């Protein structure tokens, strides 16, 4: 090997070393961002709520816009914190662990009020008709954004590198970092299914007539109130 070949080989080795160093730096930056444990992150307009641009009754797609990004969605620590807050604020009472209950599911592609971060934020802070309470002034804004990140992780809408790999409460379902990204669909279907279940339960209890659909007071309740009124002692008016 002559001197020229040695010089060329040396340049190639140096170039490969630089590429390797750059790749290592990029990987470290990504991993550091994933494991970032800052207690407060400047979330987008955390003191501002965003009115939903996708009402369930609208069939046409909304006008083109640019959804805001949630920095917490790139931090595995923040997403994990959102999962803990999801439990602590009893979101599982209505939505279970993503599969839904008396509230809609959070791990499919059906979103009643929109799936973008600011829309989920607005749903939590402002509440929605027919069951979703408002958590305004009950949860700090930065914690709301952490819950938003966790909620979106359940349907594969955040980067997989930040999604939690396992949730002990969801052992039967794939972990969030293995959930395929779904295409959100704006639909009132979950709300209609909930209303159907409510009507069926009210019919079973006798508060709605099955044939006509009219509301009524069950006869058992009427008899109970009548007996209570009949046995209630009367008081004399003061002279």
- Location of structure tokens 């007539």: 209
**Listed residue (56, 51, 48) closest to 144, CA to CA:** 48
Position 7 confidence tier, pLDDT thresholds 50, 70, 90: low
- CB of 107 within 8 A of CB of 99? yes
- C-alpha dihedral, 79 to 82 to 84 to 89, nearest 10°: -170
pLDDT tens figures, 89-121: 999 999 988 888 888 999 888 899 999 999 999
CA nearest to 88, candidates 166, 147, 37: 147
The string of pLDDT tens digits covering residues 151-199 is 999 999 998 888 877 555 555 566 778 778 878 877 777 788 888 888 8
Q: Looking at residue 209, what DSSP letter applies?
A: -
Q: What 3-state class would DSSP assign to 132?
A: strand
Mean pLDDT of 28-39: 54
Sign for the CA dihedral angle at 115, 130, 192, 98 comes to positive
């Amino acid at each position: 090997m002559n001197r020229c070949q040695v010089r060329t080989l040396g340049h190639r080795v140096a170039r490969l070393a630089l590429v390797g160093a750059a790749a290592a730096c990029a990987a470290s930056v990504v991993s550091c961002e994933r494991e970032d444990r800052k207690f407060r992150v400047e979330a987008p307009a955390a003191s501002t709520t965003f009115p939903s641009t996708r009402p369930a009754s609208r069939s046409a797609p909304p006008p083109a816009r640019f959804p805001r990004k949630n920095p917490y969605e790139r931090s595995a620590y923040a997403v994990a914190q959102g999962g803990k807050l999801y439990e602590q604020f009893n979101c599982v009472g209505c939505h279970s662990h993503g599969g839904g209950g008396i509230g809609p599911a959070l791990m499919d592609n059906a979103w009643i009020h929109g799936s973008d971060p600011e829309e989920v934020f607005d749903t939590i802070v402002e509440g929605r008709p027919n069951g979703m309470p408002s958590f305004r002034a009950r949860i700090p804004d930065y914690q709301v954004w952490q819950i938003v990140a966790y909620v979106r992780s359940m349907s594969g809408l955040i980067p997989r590198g930040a999604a939690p790999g396992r949730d002990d409460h969801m052992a039967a379902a794939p972990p969030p970092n293995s959930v395929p990204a779904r295409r959100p669909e704006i639909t009132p279907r979950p709300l209609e299914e909930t209303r159907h279940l409510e009507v069926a339960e009210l019919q079973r209890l006798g508060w709605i007539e099955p044939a006509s659909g009219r509301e009524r007071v069950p006869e058992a309740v009427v008899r109970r109130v009548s007996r209570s009124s009949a046995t209630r002692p009367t008081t004399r008016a003061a002279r």
